[in-house]
Amino acid sequence: MVDRIVPGFPKDSIETVQKRLSFNDELVVKAEPFHLWVIEGPTNIKEKFPFSDAALNVIVTNDLSPYRTRKVRILYGAHTALVPIAYLHGFEEVRTAIEDEKTGSFISEVVFDEIIPTLDMPETELESYAHEVLERFRNPFIKHKLIDISLNSISKFKVRVLPSMLEYMIQNEKAPPKLVIAFAYLLMFYKGKFKSNNIELQDDAQVIEFFKTVWEETDLENIVAKTLSNKALWDVDLKNHINLKEALTIELMHISKQ
């Protein structure tokens, strides 16, 4: 498993890069300083390939699934939870949203209070990784457009965020309050319009059509109930999960009044 943000060919700065290299390298790739490579296999791999001698962040393990889950729930989960909230508050990029005191603090609380406690890894490792993730989001050289990341947000939420919510509900017998807020903003995002601004939704036609139809309703409780009970979106019926429907309806009411 590889964990590194690689924006690709630096077209905006390639002339400067090539001048520094003294030749026209057309295979230049821009990448963030952070890197992690997790290899599942026998420990003697480290002897044959002494990554540590090259100061590379490589982990050899007999089971990489915890690292994959950590990446999906924390890195991708934070991204997915952030997008609709930040976008509907007028931000365009991940960095500016994270640097905002209110939005940045909210996402940090989501990660540390509601995602990390649901993961089965040493807490110190999870917190260290989470701090690195949030710092990576602040990288001024990586321009992550929120509207680009919003592609297929429903399926992303199902894979990246919903498992943390379900595990939190098992542990605490209530819905996670901050992730419920993120969920509510996701539903409002898929209305396709917020205040007087239209939103360019990028998703499967069936998903867009479902939300177009469901948002023709005026009763928010019905909108939430129909959305949560749509197994095509979540693979499960979420309507009767503890207080999720009630909490989501309340948050949607708050957002609607903004």
The mean pLDDT value of the chain amounts to 94
Mean pLDDT of 198-222: 96
pLDDT at residue 173 is higher than 90: yes
- Domain 64-256 is found in CATH 1.10.10.10: no
Residue 221 banded pLDDT, cuts 50, 70, 90: very high
Read off the pLDDT of residues 93-111 as tens digits, 9 standing for 90 and up.
999 999 999 999 999 999 9
Give domain limits for the chain: 64-256
Give the tokens for residue 230. Answer: 């749509």
The Cα–Cα gap between 201 and 147 comes to 9
- Are the beta carbons of 30 and 141 closer than 8 angstroms? yes
> What's residue 21's pLDDT?
85
Residue 113 banded pLDDT, cuts 50, 70, 90: very high
Mean pLDDT of 114-125: 97
At 194, phi and psi to the nearest 5?
Answer: -135, 120
Mean pLDDT of 48-77: 93
> What's residue 161's pLDDT?
98
Identify the CA nearest to 136 among candidates 90, 188, 177, 79.
79
Total count of residues recorded for the chain: 258
Query: What is the number of alpha carbons within 13 Å of residue 98 lying toward its C-beta?
Result: 24
Please report the DSSP string for 135-189 in residue order: HHHT-TT---BHHHHTTTHHHHHHHHTHHHHHHHHHHHSS--HHHHHHHHHHHHH
> What's residue 5's pLDDT?
87
The H or E element that residue 37 is part of is strand 36-40
The angle that helices 162-172 and 177-189 make with each other, rounded to 10 degrees, is 150
Read off the pLDDT of residues 233-257 as tens digits, 9 standing for 90 and up.
999 999 999 899 999 999 999 999 8
pTM of the complete model: 0.92
| Percent of residues, the chain, with pLDDT higher than 70 | 100
- Are the beta carbons of 36 and 59 closer than 8 angstroms? yes
Give the tokens for residue 46. Answer: 């480290």
The Cα–Cα gap between 213 and 192 comes to 11
The Cα–Cα gap between 244 and 238 comes to 8
> What's residue 23's pLDDT?
84
pLDDT at residue 43 is higher than 90: no
